[in-house]
Amino acid sequence: MFRFLTAGESHGPCLTAVIEGLPAGLPVDIAAVNRDLARRQQGYGRGGRMRIEKDEAEVLSGLRFGRTLGSPLALAVRNRDWANWQERMSPTGPAAGEAVTAPRPGHADLAGSQKYGHGDIRNILERASARETAARVAVGAVARQLLAAVGITVAAHVVAIGGVTAARRTCTAAEIAALTASSRLACADPAAEAKMVAAIDKAKTRGDTLGGIFEVVAGGMLPGLGSHVQWDRRLDSLLAAAVMSIPAIKGVEIGEGFANAALPGSEAHDEIFYTAGRGYYRQTNRSGGVEGGISTGEDLVLRAVMKPIPTLMAPLASVDIATKQPARANTERSDVCAVPAAAVVGEAAVAIVLAGAVQAKFGGDHLDDLLVAVRHYRGRLDGDA
């Protein structure tokens, strides 16, 4: 079973990820992992922290001569800013630094402090920070390499920021990667991107932040990933949970999603066709590649809504948890807009779920075993064609 854990604080020594369930013999390209980490740091509207960090993955275990061993793969992403925070974030010794006591509306600050009984909100915000997603991107980059072995690719693009929406288009994962390669906002519509940049500039002037929407597409999909038999094995529920777990994500849809609420069934579903040699196929993909919790073999299409980041340079009203008096919310070094970064994290989340679904269906302690199982399954499907 493909699974992972992450650990680490935003200003601690490093972020750590441990991946279990990778088959032995999988080639892992660390340079490719680092390229995804670099993509997460980019995007117009990012803050000063990204000028300090240069995220790179360090392999701690589970890899020898570039291939997985079948044992847990452990990765670390060092925090350069740790050098400036060693006293305030020291794991031992007396407390140092001023306590943070003014929670930010929209952040885990207050609810987390109440839950865990902390008088210093920094004990919450350090782990609740989106900095944690660097570890998830590293995990996702490894998952993408497992998916590539079976012909599945994953890519994301930004489709809206601050109310500016890109022209709707149907793109494959490969087309998305090509169209967004030189974009400052990972947007495939240059005209919309220019308006998004202007909106970010205006928000920065006001001390405000902006959210938006990104879309993730997975191509080369196999039918039959996921299952209808239990709620926690449904592919769509796993995808929604993984993407919703990204900080600031407040909505997830697969395929036409919410638009289906306004449509009759005759316009909401994908009619099924069959021809000899091709087998079963659909001329539309309103379902986004998932029916009944199971992949259909069509491209997986998922969109997610990211709310504006809650750290504002013109802070909102709050209450000091030490004095219970009115206060302005705490400010931390932050971004104006991080939707392009969230899109990279969304790619990682989707890749992680799909890698787990591939492992669940095909198993295999070694990559060769998994690939033999995939070839056998494809052969069975081709028999229906």
Q: Give the separation between CA 308 and CA 247, rounded to whole angstroms.
A: 11
Coil, helix or strand at residue 319:
strand
- Is the CB of residue 295 less than 8 Å from the CB of residue 223? yes
Q: What is the pLDDT of residue 333?
A: 73
Span 3-384: which CATH code? 3.60.150.10
Q: Give the separation between CA 200 and CA 24, rounded to whole angstroms.
A: 45
Q: What is the pLDDT of residue 366?
A: 97
Which residue ranges make up each domain of the chain? 3-384
For the chain, percent of residues with pLDDT exceeding 70 = 98
Residue with tokens 């493909």, as numbered in its chain: 2
Low-confidence residues in the chain, pLDDT < 70: 48-51, 385
Q: What is the pLDDT of residue 168?
A: 87
- Is the CB of residue 273 less than 8 Å from the CB of residue 293? no
- In the chain, at which residue ranges do the beta strands (DSSP E only) sit? 3-7, 14-20, 57-61, 63-64, 67-68, 73-78, 153-161, 164-165, 212-219, 223-226, 249-254, 272-275, 279-282, 290-291, 294-296, 300-306, 317-319, 326-328
pTM score of the predicted model: 0.95
Q: What angle, 0 to 180 degrees and rounded to 10, lies between the N-to-C axes of helices 367-384 and 339-362?
A: 80
Q: Give the separation between CA 278 and CA 326, rounded to whole angstroms.
A: 67
Burial (Cβ within 10 Å: 0-12, 13-18, ≥19) of residue 72 = middle
Q: What is the pLDDT of residue 53?
A: 75
Q: Give the separation between CA 215 and CA 252, rounded to whole angstroms.
A: 10
Q: What is the pLDDT of residue 85?
A: 93
The H-assigned helical ranges of 245-325 are 265-268
Q: What is the pLDDT of residue 45?
A: 83
Q: What is the pLDDT of residue 6?
A: 98
Q: What is the pLDDT of residue 35?
A: 95
The upper half-sphere exposure of residue 258, i.e. CA atoms within 13 Å in the direction of its Cβ, equals: 6
Token pair of 213 as six digits: 């929407």
Q: Give the separation between CA 318 and CA 325, rounded to whole angstroms.
A: 9
Q: What is the pLDDT of residue 46?
A: 80
